Amino acid sequence: MLLALSLGLTAAAANVLGGFFIVRRDWSRQYLKYFLALGAGFMLAAAFLEVIPESIRLAGRSAPFLVLVGYFLVHFFEHTLAPHFHFGEETHTEEMAPQHASYAALLGLVIHTFFDGVAIASGFLISTWLGGVIFLAVFLHKLPEGFTVASFMLASGQSRRVAFGASALLGAATVVGVLLMSLLHREVGYALPISAGVTVYVAATDLVPEVNREPGVRMALVVFLGVALMLALQRLFHM
Ligand SMILES: [Zn+2]
Ligand SMILES: [Zn+2]
């Protein structure tokens, strides 16, 4: 669990670093897009090849339903409560009702990042391999996640300080997820399949549309690179 906690802290630090991209205008944001694409491919491969099968072994016939619950949990908090939310840089200031819209989006992302932490801890409760895979899946989308929230807060008229604080809050929610799950380790049969659903939503519904907005094939190819990375790790460590 110490390993889960230190990796949870690493993921949280990536959230904060992502938030820095909005404060530091001179940092190139091109790299964030590659993390987004790589993360999407890796997360989907990890969810379908490792986390969902393990969830079924653990929770049996209730696993598919819990995966669905996880999926729609994010849909509800990120997109139903906050009507205008997308991953990446926020440029549609005119569509956003100031202040309360940004807090609704922040709440949605806090719930999602809480499950990022729950997922890491749940993985380590099963095996170091699964925990490592889930950590990588979380880590790869943490930079764009921190950037997204900071950008969203700025676009709704918040100060840079609040925007940066929001990315730190996402990091904190991830750590709380790890800590809570290490206390409630008996509930891993619920937490793992719900985390799988959360992962599928974030990858397929939040990240892939952002990837597809990019012109050209390069970003789409990077998604396959994410899938290939997962397959390569399986061959190396988990045959
Ligand atoms: Zn927008
Ligand atoms: Zn996340």
Mean pLDDT, the chain, whole residue set: 93
The pLDDT assigned to 239 comes to: 65
Report CA(141)–ligand 2 centroid distance (Å). Answer: 6
What residue has token string 């170091």?
128
Pair 171, 146: CB distance under 8 Å? yes
Report CA(186)–ligand 2 centroid distance (Å). Answer: 23
CB within 8 Å of 65: residues ≥ 6 apart: none
Report CA(183)–ligand 1 centroid distance (Å). Answer: 38
Report CA(113)–ligand 2 centroid distance (Å). Answer: 5
Q: How many CA atoms lie within 13 A of 56 on its CB side?
A: 8
Which ligand is the nearest neighbour of the Cα of 101? 1
CB within 8 Å of 161: residues ≥ 6 apart: none
Report CA(17)–ligand 1 centroid distance (Å). Answer: 22
Coil, strand or helix: which one is 158?
coil
Which ligand is the nearest neighbour of the Cα of 8? 2
Report CA(47)–ligand 2 centroid distance (Å). Answer: 14
What is the rounded distance in angstroms from the CA atom of residue 71 to the CA atom of residue 108? 13
For 29-68, write each residue's pLDDT tens digit. Answer: 888 899 999 999 999 999 999 999 999 999 999 999 999 9
Report CA(145)–ligand 2 centroid distance (Å). Answer: 6
Pair 191, 120: CB distance under 8 Å? no
- Dihedrals φ, ψ of 82, to 5°? -110, 100
**Structure tokens belonging to residue 40:** 């999407």
Which ligand is the nearest neighbour of the Cα of 120? 2
Pair 41, 225: CB distance under 8 Å? yes
What is the rounded distance in angstroms from the CA atom of residue 50 to the CA atom of residue 238? 10
Which ligand is the nearest neighbour of the Cα of 95? 1
What is the rounded distance in angstroms from the CA atom of residue 5 to the CA atom of residue 33? 27
Task: Tell me which residue of 212, 215, 36, 220 sits closest to 139, measured CA to CA.
Answer: 36
Which ligand is the nearest neighbour of the Cα of 146? 2
**Structure tokens belonging to residue 237:** 């460590």
Report CA(91)–ligand 1 centroid distance (Å). Answer: 5
Which ligand is the nearest neighbour of the Cα of 94? 1
Residue 196 has pLDDT above 70, yes or no: yes
For 144-184, write each residue's pLDDT tens digit. Answer: 999 999 999 988 888 999 999 999 999 999 999 999 999 99
Which ligand is the nearest neighbour of the Cα of 83? 1
For 66-123, write each residue's pLDDT tens digit. Answer: 999 999 999 999 999 887 888 988 888 777 766 777 888 899 999 999 999 999 999 9
Burial class (CB in 10 A: 0-12, 13-18, 19+), 26: exposed
Report CA(212)–ligand 1 centroid distance (Å). Answer: 15
